[in-house]
Amino acid sequence: MSRITEAGVQQALNALCNGSLEDTALIDLHLVDMLHREMQMSDTLPARIYTCNQVLIRTISERFRLMRTVLMLPMPDEADTLQQVFQAIQRDAQTGNAELLAWGWLYYRFVRVDLQITPTQFSWAAGITTRTLRRYQQRGIARLTLHLIDQEQQKSQAG
């Protein structure tokens, strides 16, 4: 089984955000293998990287959606304007829920790359410092890493 670390997850997220076809430690996960087969992708490095990115995108989106559901908050619409997204971030910050802000930052930074929200912009909208945002990002990456480890163990035991 591939070893999943926070550093490896961070590397994969950076490659995803930058749009690079960088081979990462996560590419050999059972999670990636199973989704790769399900998506009927070709067995090439770029296709495996794409699948690995999809695992990250789906996991972050799912965890962010779950947090919002628990807190009875609507999921942002993909058609929202940047101004509407900043208002949603402000509402999220008003909950005082650090987990929500951690998953929210991962979502806006690595899933909604089309919005090009910078750490400074997110921090401003959330009413926090960029230093606090870095702590939230580390918390989010730690949670994402644990979730991926759990998923990987389940998938490798299943087959």
pLDDT tens digit string along 78-114? Answer: 999 999 999 999 999 999 999 999 999 999 999 999 9
What is the structure's pLDDT at 1?
A: 47
Is the pLDDT confidence value at 34 over 80? yes
Q: How far is CA 116 from CA 120, 122, 132, 145, 157, in A?
A: 11, 10, 20, 24, 38
| Per-residue model confidence (pLDDT) at position 3 | 86
pLDDT tens for each residue of 109-151: 999 999 999 999 999 999 999 999 999 999 999 999 999 999 9
Residue 135, Cβ neighbours under 10 Å: how many?
A: 14
- pLDDT level of residue 159 (50, 70, 90 thresholds): low
